[in-house]
Amino acid sequence: MGDMRKDYVSERFMIVSKKDDKVIDPKKSPFAPGNESMTNPSVLSLVAKDGMLQRLQDSEDEYVEGWSIRVFESKNPIVSIETENSYSDRPHYSEPSYGYHYIVVASPKEKDTLATIDTEQWSNVLVVVQDRLRWLYTQKGVTYVSIFADQGETAGSQNPHPHLNILTFSTIPPIIEEEAEASYKILNEKGVCPMCQIVNEEMGGPRQIIQTEGFIAYCPWAPSYPFEFCISPKKHTTSFSKITQKEINDLSLILRATLGGLSKTIKDVSYNLVFHLSPEKKNSRQIHWHIEIYPITKPWSGLERGYGIFLNDLSPEQAAEKLGVSCRKELANLVGIV
């Protein structure tokens, strides 16, 4: 396993990793039922039996069959607990890329996507992610747990089988650190959580896509990508691991509706889905947790890569209008209105 290197000057990290999850033969996807021996043994396999979900796991010589969700350590981890303790200082700063890397296979069906699995399945996936998140924060050396999904090759995924990645880090990722610091500053100066303020501003406005009882999906005021959108809890909350089953079911509904609407709006769209969460361990810099979805519809220009100034040929108001039409239809179908 490689190391985690920091830019000469800025707080930007990169990891040297020989990650290779490419599926050579689609007929032998390692994430598909019957191919369990191609991955590490599961630490959790959910199996439906007699109307209940059993929590099982593989043994050394026997793999659980008939699973609906499967969790295992990646065979090609980006981070590893077996990394060497090597450090170096600036200008060539590096530290061990220490951490855990789990895969959560979201469906046994290869033709499924995160935009087609039903809301009940999404709820079960989120419960599994929530449980794994809690467990990881009890482990030594875990400072931050990241949760993300890559859909499509241009979004970084070479395995089309629907799955999520759970990675831990021994430090807080720079973007989360920056967001937490900015939120803390605004909270101290204005006495209000900036995400609560955003939710109140966007609710019912031109950038809202849809909302459910507890969540709102909206296109941000200054997006980095065309059709980029966020899903945020309406009420102030800093911990995803503590949300209730009712809230999980509600989140599943808006996730399924928005991802389904996105796939109807942009054919064969690739996207990244990222959870922005507060560190669960003692930390005064907390954020109102949320999920960000970045559709990959065009390459970045030199202005974007070199200066961090983004060019979009579609305003977030136009994107929200187009996504809203598709997402409202998806939501209506899911709740049985149509």
Residue 187 has phi, psi (to 5 degrees) of -60, -40
Q: Distances from the Cα of 111 to the Cαs of 27, 44, 117, in angstroms?
A: 12, 22, 10
Active site residue 161: no
Contacts of 143 (CB under 8 A, 6+ apart): 168, 169, 170, 171, 172, 279, 281
Gap between the Cα atoms of 289 and 240, Å rounded: 7
Strand partners, 85: none
Select which of 101, 161, 163, 276 is catalytic: 163
Residues annotated catalytic, as ranges: 163
